[in-house]
Structure 1
Amino acid sequence: MLRRIAHPDIAKAAANIVWLGLERLTQIVVAIAIAGLLARYFGPDVFGKWQYANTLLLVLAPITWVCGAEILVPTIVHRGEADLGTVLGSAFVLRISVSALALAGTWAAIAAGVFDPVVGAMLAGLAVTMLFREPFIGVVNSWLQSLTYSKPQLVTSMATAIVKLALVYLFVRMTLAAPHFAWLWALEAAAIGLVLLGYYARRHGGKLGWRVEPALLRHFASAGTVFWVGLVCMYLFLKLDRLMLERAISFADLGRYSAAQQINENWIALALMLAQTIAPAFVYRVQERGQLMRNVIRLMLLAAGVMISGALVLDALAPLVITRVFGSNYVGAIPIFRWCVWLSVPAGIEAIGNLVLLKYQAKFVLLTKWLLALAVAFAVNLLAIPRIGAFGALAGLAAGYGAAVAINVYYIRFKLCS
């Protein structure tokens, strides 16, 4: 056992997991701290507009995820160091082209007055992150993943997150207008991208050496399309509640709803982090189907237990959590928070079941799952939001998660029990 733990590959993977955990926890703490600062400074109405602008960004951002890591990382490993410049250069050109088009389209929609003026001004700065996240950060990070060495990206992300928190506090003290804050997110993405580019160049003799291979560019443009569309549907499902609520309630009420979801989504992120951490040992490396089935059942029970325990605690502490983080103006978020924390239970179970789909590269099942979840959530929202407002949106999320879990269970039984 000691010799296995001391194996360089296992030690490297363990260190990578530790850094991943530290980075995720840092991001969660910083996100909650920033949300609390902005909620108190903006007030419910402007905070609702801020959250809606972020929702729009998170719906638009998956458009830039063409040629995802599930395609790029194996290609880097397969073609080796000799072709590294060609692989990364081709991926970069594809991603920067798509990101530039997405940014131009977003700015055009803002100029055309599609959004509320304040929302549009916020989104104009936030959207610039699309130009840096996938083309710069994503490409270099895929190379680091192929080395099982994500520490440079994780350390940089932690450092810039802390600096961003300090700058948000400074902007609040300076009483700057709300749209100015959005450019801090663009600055953060640009800083991470430039640091990672510099790190890559330093590891390769002071130059990038990236080249474009037309055949590889075409392959990247077509490969992984189903996964890409599936991810777009997934993120649209996760943000559909706020997109549909914006048409039915005031921005102030949307701000209170978003405050409750802000804490809950960071809690759910822990479930995703748990799933990512245990996936290699208990799912991806297990080949015997009976053992894999037992592992998945145990992991689902573990995830359900952890999420139920956390939901009980958060439900009981809801008044304290909401008022301490967001202030007394967000008391209306307390009953919403008490209900939405229970969404972590199906979210955690879904995250474990999803690992089996990823293990077997079941891309069409993944796409079907999120299309169904999106359709179910949309139908429930359409019926429930006009009647019960924000609680109707929670019902839509719950129904969508239920559909996603059902697809996971059906596939797992089909794949592992047949």
Structure 2
Amino acid sequence: MRRQIARNVVWLLGERALQITVSIAIVALIARGVGPEGFAHFQYAQSLVLIAASIGLICGAEVVVPRLVAHPSPDAQSHLIAHAFGLRALASIAGYLALLVSSVLTGQDATTVHIAAILGISILLREPFGVVTAWMQAHTDNRPSVVFSLSALAFKAVLIAALYFSAVHAVHEYAWTFALESGLLATMLAWYYARRRPRIRISPDRGLLIRLVRDGSVFWISMILLFSARRIDQLLLKPRVPLVDLGAYAACMQVLDNFSLLATIIASAVAPLAVYAQPSLAKARYNVLRVAGGMAAIGMAGGILIAIGAPWIVQLLYGERFEATVNLLQQGAIASGLIFADAGLALLAVHLRKPAWLVGKSLLVLVATAAVDLFTIPKYGVQGAVYGYIAANALAVVVSLGFVVLARESDAAKQAA
């Protein structure tokens, strides 16, 4: 069993590393192909799609996987997967409609609406068919999912490279590759599960639907708030700064976001033994502080390297038209240590099963980011958004540290129960 779990983790980490590498190359080609203004349109539309996509997370893996593990019968699992798929499909349709309606009602330009409508097709495909990935995870075998995901990503990369080297500059042409990637991935997942699912009649189970929505609601709300907090800066920037400046800022955030993914990987790798397996709150708290300190050091070291190498990084990835990104990247890299520290500190809330804490933190960070940005962007332009980015991450660390300090044995007792 341990060997199987270790092999599964290796597959997941390998997929994440390859996805980050290929995604960086893809974004670089798009930015070079469409230029700063086109890239601003593309990234702004992606921000709208990301927030709308969070609506489709109504029944996440943290709800589905434990239930699948607890009910190993193929018939019971098929019954659960069908209902989870239906919930996600309805929520994803609602998310896509919300994307289109909000884009029109907020007076977005035709280019942004067009790109968002194309990119938003992924909302209809990724989350509903993602239940198959949850099913694989419950069986501790993510290898097929990894192969399918990387195959679809490679397909998209080839298409984008073909567009770039064909000197295509239309942003919507690149957007279609994301929709095609999602379609291919959904097709492969559906094919794989269809060959293995039991041939039984699925009857609607209202009670199960209610339980799935209820149990996943806190995580669902937290994801909506988290994704909104991550993208509120670009939503506030577009009507207040030139598109060229927004494109430079979006390029900066792409580099920092990809580096920040390393924090999630490290936290996921060390959490099971360092935090989740600890018998007492005192020991778990001590280890969380140690992990957070070590991760902060890694983030600071990486941030310093990014700041020093910013001119070379920007030139390599985006080209000379994104020269304004260099200064923004050097300033934003300062927050890297904060992001890594927060990822480590947040492990205690997960360990104690306190999703409401994470919801509260996400809401606070969202409000703080919006407040700082609304004050600084009119005065300092895109640099004001960088200030908001740093302030928001500093606030997240303070709140997470407060959770660690204020956690009590009663919380640990409830978690054990």
Question: What's the TM-score once normalised by structure 2's chain length?
Answer: 0.93
Please list every run of 5 or more consecutive structure 2 residues that lacks an aligned counterpart in the other structure: 411-417
Is the contact between residue 373 and residue 399 of structure 1 (CA under 8 Å) also seen in structure 2? no
Is the contact between residue 5 and residue 140 of structure 2 (CA under 8 Å) also seen in structure 1? yes
Alignment partners' CA distance in 1, 2:233 and 2:344:
23
Are 2:357 and 1:365 aligned? yes
CA drift of 1:225 comes to 1.1
Secondary structure (helix, strand or coil) at the match of 2:146 reads helix
> Cα deviations across residues 233-289 of structure 1 (Å, max 9, x unaligned)?
111111111111112111111111111111111000111111112221212222222
CA drift of 1:294 comes to 2.1
Are 2:178 and 1:178 aligned? no
Counterpart in the other structure of 2:366? 374
CA drift of 1:211 comes to 4.9
Letter in 1 for 2:143: K
Alignment partners' CA distance in 1, 2:109 and 2:182:
25
Is the contact between residue 88 and residue 210 of structure 1 (CA under 8 Å) also seen in structure 2? no
Counterpart in the other structure of 1:114? 107
Secondary structure (helix, strand or coil) at the match of 1:236 reads helix
CA 1:244–1:237: 2 relative to 1, 3 Å: same
CA drift of 1:209 comes to 6.3
Is the contact between residue 334 and residue 390 of structure 2 (CA under 8 Å) also seen in structure 1? no
Letter in 2 for 1:191: L
Letter in 2 for 1:215: G
Q: What is the Cα-based RMSD across aligned positions, in Å?
A: 1.8
Secondary structure (helix, strand or coil) at the match of 2:12 reads helix
Counterpart in the other structure of 1:355? 347
Is the contact between residue 52 and residue 98 of structure 2 (CA under 8 Å) also seen in structure 1? no
Alignment partners' CA distance in 2, 1:209 and 1:198:
19
> Cα deviations across residues 368-403 of structure 1 (Å, max 9, x unaligned)?
111111111111111111111112112212222222
Counterpart in the other structure of 1:6? none
Letter in 2 for 1:204: R
Is the contact between residue 52 and residue 96 of structure 2 (CA under 8 Å) also seen in structure 1? no
Is the contact between residue 55 and residue 94 of structure 2 (CA under 8 Å) also seen in structure 1? no
CA 1:405–1:209: 2 relative to 1, 3 Å: farther
Are 2:217 and 1:231 aligned? no
Counterpart in the other structure of 1:147? 139
CA 1:211–1:143: 2 relative to 1, 3 Å: farther
CA 1:136–1:306: 2 relative to 1, 3 Å: same
Is the contact between residue 310 and residue 330 of structure 2 (CA under 8 Å) also seen in structure 1? yes
Counterpart in the other structure of 2:246? 254
Counterpart in the other structure of 1:11? 3
Alignment partners' CA distance in 2, 1:314 and 1:13:
34
Is the contact between residue 110 and residue 124 of structure 1 (CA under 8 Å) also seen in structure 2? no
CA drift of 1:342 comes to 2.0
Alignment partners' CA distance in 2, 1:209 and 1:293:
48
Alignment partners' CA distance in 2, 1:209 and 1:26:
39
Residues 166-315 of structure 1 aligned to structure 2 (within 5 Å): 166-176=158-168, 177-204=170-197, 211-315=203-307
Letter in 2 for 1:192: L
Counterpart of 1:24 (choices 13, 16, 27) is 16
Instruction: Out of 68-77 and 110-119, give the one that drifted further.
Output: 110-119
Alignment partners' CA distance in 1, 2:330 and 2:171:
29
Letter in 1 for 2:196: R
Counterpart of 1:411 (choices 403, 408, 416) is 403
Counterpart in the other structure of 2:126? 133
The size of the alignment, in residue pairs, is 408
Residues 63-74 of structure 1 aligned to structure 2 (within 5 Å): 63-74=55-66
Counterpart of 1:85 (choices 78, 89, 107) is 78
Alignment partners' CA distance in 1, 2:327 and 2:201:
55
CA drift of 1:179 comes to 0.7
Is the contact between residue 200 and residue 208 of structure 1 (CA under 8 Å) also seen in structure 2? no
Identity in percent: 29
Is the contact between residue 342 and residue 396 of structure 2 (CA under 8 Å) also seen in structure 1? yes
CA drift of 1:111 comes to 5.7
Alignment partners' CA distance in 2, 1:256 and 1:240:
16
Instruction: Out of 327-336 and 175-184, give the one that drifted further.
Output: 175-184
Instruction: Out of 162-171 and 408-417, give the one that drifted further.
Output: 408-417
Letter in 1 for 2:89: I
Alignment partners' CA distance in 2, 1:369 and 1:129:
28
Are 2:116 and 1:123 aligned? yes
Alignment partners' CA distance in 2, 1:35 and 1:204:
37
Alignment partners' CA distance in 1, 2:211 and 2:76:
15
CA drift of 1:196 comes to 1.4
Secondary structure (helix, strand or coil) at the match of 1:223 reads helix
Is the contact between residue 90 and residue 211 of structure 1 (CA under 8 Å) also seen in structure 2? no
Alignment partners' CA distance in 2, 1:222 and 1:349:
31
CA drift of 1:331 comes to 0.8
> Cα deviations across residues 17-63 of structure 1 (Å, max 9, x unaligned)?
21111111111111111111111111111111111111111111111
Secondary structure (helix, strand or coil) at the match of 1:86 reads helix
Is the contact between residue 230 and residue 366 of structure 1 (CA under 8 Å) also seen in structure 2? yes
Are 2:37 and 1:42 aligned? no
Alignment partners' CA distance in 1, 2:239 and 2:108:
12
Are 2:53 and 1:61 aligned? yes
CA drift of 1:112 comes to 6.0
Letter in 2 for 1:265: D
Instruction: Out of 322-331 and 70-79, give the one that drifted further.
Output: 70-79
CA drift of 1:204 comes to 3.1
